[in-house]
Structure 1
Amino acid sequence: MRIAVVGATGNTGTAVLRALHRHPEITEVAGIARRLPDTEIEPYDRCEWRSIDIAAASTEADAVQSLTDAFRGCDAVIHLAWMIQPNDRRELLERVNVEGTRRVARAVAEAGVEHLVVASSVGVYSPDEARDALRKDGTEPPLRDEEFPNQGIDSSHYSVDKASQEEVLDDFEALHPGVTVTRMRPALLFQGDAASSIQRYFIGKAVPSRLLAPGSMLSLPLPSGLRIQALHTDDVAEAYVAAVLAKKGGAFNVAADDILGPQELADILTSTGKYMEMPPAIVRAAVVTAHRSGVIPADAGWIDMAMQVPLMDTTKARTELKWSPKRTAADALRELLEGLAEGRGHASPVLRPDAQDDRNVNAFHQPASEGAFAGDGDVDPHVPPEKMSADLLELYLSDHLTGATAGVGRITRMANDFVDTPMFGRLGQLVDEISAERAFLIQLIDDLGLDRKPYRQAVAWVGERVGRLKSNGKIVERSPMTMLLETELMRGAVMGKLGMWQMLEVQAPTLGLDPKVFTDLIEMTENQVKLLDEIHAYASARALRADKDIYWTDN
């Protein structure tokens, strides 16, 4: 069987790829994402890859044509792509999540694929009044099957879009009765490799990671009546594969056997097993304040959804798909929390780790923590004083690290600002590569026994942020000139970095390093310049024109 996976680099997508590779019935996998991963790293190394923007900055005709070409010859398409942030860009989120699903479904029909499996969610369900009874008199709510109303939670943009997505599927099924449509409705999905992405999307960096480790709290404050269903992402991945192999249509609830209530959560998160229940309105107000002040990325809609959606009955998935979870919700949550404390992730743009040493350096497909030992592994880094001035080398590398610190800040901001342009895929690739290179340079300096001069990086960090205040003709709105100016600055910085790698390639034997590592970094940096040239060409054609847009619109 040949299977295409749309959104193949995220939390669920990565796990689905692993699950597909475990089943011999699946002979070919096509991975589709806007930002591609390092295809030398598992599980991305056994897929055919295409970079396709389904709706963020593409026309319907272009997206459907690209998807149709990718889907030809497939036995099934698994659609997982979903945009969660930025919260305040509702039109963008709806376009990607709802209109993107419509385009994927249309391409499935045009390519002649007979089975479409779509990631829905517990969030698709309407509020369950039984959850109110739990808060009022302690009555535990019943489990609800797939026939429960699915109009979503009005105050949650995620839930509203999931309900709209299923309406798209209703319309598609009516028009194409020959296509089997499966809707997977999983509970919360946890795995260690998704920890850093979950922190970026929901928690933010203001919360110290050490406070997220299991057993790190003395007492856990919770909204009264909270009950959580969850499962390990590997388990939901097996449910997707089971649906593909069984070619079963309809909706399927998917969750682990156990339900996490206040005591179960306190047993995991605290060292004492103690918790304190609070009125949900107070918790919601605190989340509203934290979100509006920029402390956390998640808005209060996530609290509303957690407190109102029904608890799901998973009997249908067990009987019709012959599926059952291998791990408990408690185990999945514990793994996630350990991953949060460690800054864990994986080698994809979506799952990139916060722990810098773990970031994958695409040039030589090793983590940045290899530092001076990257390459063939048979090196003895040192700085012979009779051949090279350690003081000058230290100053030289420290200055480049200062530039790298500013560069990471600039390219990250560019990717965030230009998510609704056709250049986002290229910018996302640059974020991953430049961030990993900086982490590698830090480790290299340490391995050589040199001083990083951290005060210089602090100055660069502040300077990069002050630089954001430069005049671009706009105060509140994004200026169309910003991409042009930022790209020109970034291109100059990357050219400077190229010189550093060239110097290190020449001096590698003297330093006891593998020259090929720097040869590979030179090649990757030259490709980065080409990417920046493409971005600059796009901006140059639009930035100063009154009749052209940089940012994507439906027009």
Structure 2
Amino acid sequence: MKVVVIGATGNVGTGTLRALHETPEVTSIVGIARRLPETGVEPYKDCEWHSVDIAAASAAEATVTELSAIFEGADAVIHLAWLIQPNDQRELLRRVNVEGTRRVTEAVARAGVPHLVAASSVGAYSPDEARSSADSPPLRDESFPTGGVDSSHYSVDKVAQEHVLDAFAAAHPEITVTRLRSAFTFQGDAASEIQRYFVGGAVPVQALKMGRLPALTLPKGLLMQGVHADDAGRAYAAAVVRKLPGAFNIAADDLITPQDFADIVDHGHFMLIPPTVVRAALITAHKSGLVPADAGWLDMAMQLPLLDSSRARAELGWQARVSAVDAFRELFEGMVAGTGLPSPPLVPRKKDDRIVHPLQEPAGVGAHAGQGAAPQGGSEELPEDLTKDLMSLYLSDHLTGATAGTNRIERMAADFVDTPVYADLAGLAEGIRANREFLRNLIDDLGFARRPYRQAAAWATERVGRLKLNGRLLERSPMTMLLESELMSSGVQGQIGLWETLHEHADELGLDAEVFSRLIEDTQGMLDTLGKVHAYARSRALRDDREIFWD
């Protein structure tokens, strides 16, 4: 069987790839994502990969044509792609999640694929009044109403997606349409992604490595179902093999109780407070920018029905191998550790604020190096004819500039997620951030001072700079991308100068000059990519007849 997986790089997509690799009937896997993973590592290896923007910044007909060509000869398409953030771009979320699903169905029909498996969710169901009125809420099967939770954009879009699938199934009875309604899905490898999307950096999850809370505060009435991503993936693999129509609930058999949460997160002590109090606090934290998740996620957790997965067990032969409690424990421990995978959605969090640059290999620098390493003992052992204070100040100044540049490019990637150059910007953000951490590590390895107050000032200055007026107060200016790409190009060109300078003095510093040759080449590639972004921006930013935020 040839199986195509759309959204193959995320939480569920990664679990699905693992399961498909283990399914004997599946002989060929095609992965589709807007941004591609490192394809030489599991579970992304041994797949054919395509980069496709299904709806964020692409025209409908072009997308359907591109997808249908990829779908040719496929026995099944698994559609997992779903955009959760940014919350404040509601139209973008709807376009990707609902219109994107519509485009996928059209491409499936055009390519003559006999089977479509789509990721629905517990979020598609209506609120269950029994959740608050019964001591032991009942489990609901697939016949429970699918009206969604009005306060949740995720839930509203899942309902709209189900309507798209209903219409497609009615119009194409020759195509089997399967939808899996999964519970909240956890795995350790998705910890950094889930923290970015829901918890954010302001909540000190990592501080729990050093100690525990006196008591965990939770909303009264909280009960949660869950499923491990690998178990969800095995459900998708089973659906492909069994080729059965309709909906299937997917959840582990156990429930995560307040005691379970407290046992995992702290010392087993918890305090229950009214959900309205928790909701008000979450609204405040979200509006202030401290927490990415909005109150709709809490509303879903408190109101949605608990799933009866009997049909999946009976007809798909599926059974969860990991309990919901253990899946959440793995997720939480992954958050504390900052785990992830070499996939854009699952990229691990920086550990102790140090990301090892890909070029820091045995022939690299400092503590990571073999031959040509930085001198043991730091700057005191550098040659006397090298002006140590000036070299230290030079590197520190570049680190300051790199800090501001990293903040700027990350903001650009977030601001322009709905443009065709988003993938370029996101890739640049990863590369520029890695170069900054490489420089930080180098300064440490050479025994120089970083002068962190300068980096703090750069961080603050870059954020104040975002307040500049580009002719628009309440919306993004089309001129912003043009100006920002010019500023970034200047900064990246300066970084090339840094690598050239370090290449010149590599012998005196006891470093491997080849490392800096490769950095020069890589950073030149970043400059070329910024040129591509600038070309896109300058062709649109100053015109009234072309949109910069839409292709």
TM-score band w.r.t. shorter chain: over 0.9
Q: Using the alignment, how far apart are the partners of 2:208 and 2:176 within structure 1?
A: 42
Letter in 2 for 1:46: D
Question: Are residues 467 and 543 of structure 1, via their aligned partners in 2, closer, same or farther at CA, if it must alter by over 3 Å?
Answer: same
Task: Indicate conservation of the 8 Å contact 2:189/2:341, yes or no.
Answer: yes
Match for 1:485 among 483, 486, 507?
Answer: 483
Match for 2:198 among 196, 202, 211?
Answer: 202
User: What is aligned with 1:190?
Assistant: 186
Per mean C-alpha deviation after superposition, the further-off stretch among 233-242 and 37-46 is 37-46
Q: Using the alignment, how far apart are the partners of 1:545 and 1:9 within structure 2?
A: 36
Match for 1:533 among 527, 531, 534?
Answer: 531
> What is the DSSP-based 3-state SS (H/G/I as helix, E as strand, rest coil) of the residue aligned with 1:198?
helix
Task: Indicate conservation of the 8 Å contact 1:361/1:433, yes or no.
Answer: no
> What is the DSSP-based 3-state SS (H/G/I as helix, E as strand, rest coil) of the residue aligned with 2:66?
helix
Letter in 1 for 2:333: E
Task: Indicate conservation of the 8 Å contact 2:444/2:450, yes or no.
Answer: yes
User: What is aligned with 2:378?
Assistant: none
Per mean C-alpha deviation after superposition, the further-off stretch among 475-484 and 191-200 is 191-200
Question: Are residues 379 and 228 of structure 1, via their aligned partners in 2, closer, same or farther at CA, if it must alter by over 3 Å?
Answer: farther
Task: Indicate conservation of the 8 Å contact 1:213/1:338, yes or no.
Answer: no
Cα-to-partner distance string for 1:3-30 (whole Å, 9 max, x where unaligned): 2211122111222223323334433322
Match for 1:301 among 296, 299, 320?
Answer: 296
Match for 1:381 among 367, 374, 387?
Answer: 374
Q: Using the alignment, how far apart are the partners of 2:510 and 2:170 within structure 1?
A: 67
Q: Using the alignment, how far apart are the partners of 2:418 and 2:338 within structure 1?
A: 28
Cα-to-partner distance string for 1:284-337 (whole Å, 9 max, x where unaligned): 122122212222111111111111111111111122222222211111111111
The yes-or-no answer on 1:465 pairing with 2:463 is yes
Match for 1:165 among 155, 158, 161?
Answer: 161
User: What is aligned with 1:418?
Assistant: 416
Task: Indicate conservation of the 8 Å contact 2:102/2:164, yes or no.
Answer: yes
Q: Using the alignment, how far apart are the partners of 1:202 and 1:477 within structure 2?
A: 25
The yes-or-no answer on 1:348 pairing with 2:343 is yes
Q: Using the alignment, how far apart are the partners of 2:105 and 2:354 within structure 1?
A: 35
User: What is aligned with 1:72?
Assistant: 72
Deviation at 1:219, TM superposition (A): 1.5
Letter in 2 for 1:251: A
Task: Indicate conservation of the 8 Å contact 1:11/1:233, yes or no.
Answer: yes
Task: Indicate conservation of the 8 Å contact 1:124/1:163, yes or no.
Answer: yes
Structure 1: gaps (5+ residues): none
Deviation at 1:451, TM superposition (A): 2.0
Question: Normalization by structure 2: what TM-score?
Answer: 0.93
Letter in 2 for 1:418: F
Deviation at 1:362, TM superposition (A): 7.8
Task: Indicate conservation of the 8 Å contact 1:347/1:360, yes or no.
Answer: no
Match for 1:407 among 405, 408, 412?
Answer: 405
Letter in 1 for 2:342: A
Task: Indicate conservation of the 8 Å contact 1:214/1:270, yes or no.
Answer: no
Q: Using the alignment, how far apart are the partners of 2:431 and 2:163 within structure 1?
A: 39
Query: What is the 5 A alignment of 1:450-461?
Result: 450-461=448-459
Q: Using the alignment, how far apart are the partners of 1:19 and 1:436 within structure 2?
A: 32
Letter in 1 for 2:529: L
> What is the DSSP-based 3-state SS (H/G/I as helix, E as strand, rest coil) of the residue aligned with 1:151?
coil
Question: Are residues 190 and 214 of structure 1, via their aligned partners in 2, closer, same or farther at CA, if it must alter by over 3 Å?
Answer: farther
Q: Using the alignment, how far apart are the partners of 1:348 and 1:362 within structure 2?
A: 16
Per mean C-alpha deviation after superposition, the further-off stretch among 84-93 and 380-389 is 380-389
Deviation at 1:381, TM superposition (A): 2.2
Deviation at 1:46, TM superposition (A): 2.6
Query: What is the 5 A alignment of 1:114-153?
Result: 114-134=114-134, 139-153=135-149
Question: Are residues 398 and 43 of structure 1, via their aligned partners in 2, closer, same or farther at CA, if it must alter by over 3 Å?
Answer: farther
> What is the DSSP-based 3-state SS (H/G/I as helix, E as strand, rest coil) of the residue aligned with 2:214?
strand
Structure 2: gaps (5+ residues): 376-380
Deviation at 1:82, TM superposition (A): 0.7
Query: What is the 5 A alignment of 1:171-186?
Result: 171-186=167-182
Question: Are residues 419 and 366 of structure 1, via their aligned partners in 2, closer, same or farther at CA, if it must alter by over 3 Å?
Answer: farther
Q: Using the alignment, how far apart are the partners of 1:325 and 1:504 within structure 2?
A: 54
Deviation at 1:88, TM superposition (A): 2.2
Letter in 1 for 2:262: A
Task: Indicate conservation of the 8 Å contact 2:355/2:438, yes or no.
Answer: no
Number of aligned positions between the proteins: 545
Letter in 1 for 2:60: E
Task: Indicate conservation of the 8 Å contact 2:405/2:491, yes or no.
Answer: yes
Match for 1:317 among 312, 316, 319?
Answer: 312
Deviation at 1:411, TM superposition (A): 0.4
Question: Are residues 385 and 364 of structure 1, via their aligned partners in 2, closer, same or farther at CA, if it must alter by over 3 Å?
Answer: closer
> What is the DSSP-based 3-state SS (H/G/I as helix, E as strand, rest coil) of the residue aligned with 2:179?
strand
Match for 2:240 among 244, 255, 271?
Answer: 244
User: What is aligned with 1:226?
Assistant: 222
Q: Using the alignment, how far apart are the partners of 2:385 and 2:25 within structure 1?
A: 59
> What is the DSSP-based 3-state SS (H/G/I as helix, E as strand, rest coil) of the residue aligned with 2:402?
helix
Question: Are residues 69 and 513 of structure 1, via their aligned partners in 2, closer, same or farther at CA, if it must alter by over 3 Å?
Answer: farther
Q: Using the alignment, how far apart are the partners of 2:210 and 2:303 within structure 1?
A: 26
Task: Indicate conservation of the 8 Å contact 1:472/1:481, yes or no.
Answer: yes
Q: Using the alignment, how far apart are the partners of 1:371 and 1:104 within structure 2?
A: 47
Per mean C-alpha deviation after superposition, the further-off stretch among 513-522 and 243-252 is 513-522
Question: Are residues 472 and 397 of structure 1, via their aligned partners in 2, closer, same or farther at CA, if it must alter by over 3 Å?
Answer: same
Per mean C-alpha deviation after superposition, the further-off stretch among 66-75 and 407-416 is 66-75
Task: Indicate conservation of the 8 Å contact 2:365/2:373, yes or no.
Answer: no
Letter in 1 for 2:171: L
Question: Are residues 71 and 166 of structure 1, via their aligned partners in 2, closer, same or farther at CA, if it must alter by over 3 Å?
Answer: same
Task: Indicate conservation of the 8 Å contact 1:16/1:234, yes or no.
Answer: yes
Deviation at 1:107, TM superposition (A): 0.8
Question: Are residues 143 and 540 of structure 1, via their aligned partners in 2, closer, same or farther at CA, if it must alter by over 3 Å?
Answer: same
Q: Using the alignment, how far apart are the partners of 1:509 and 1:252 within structure 2?
A: 64
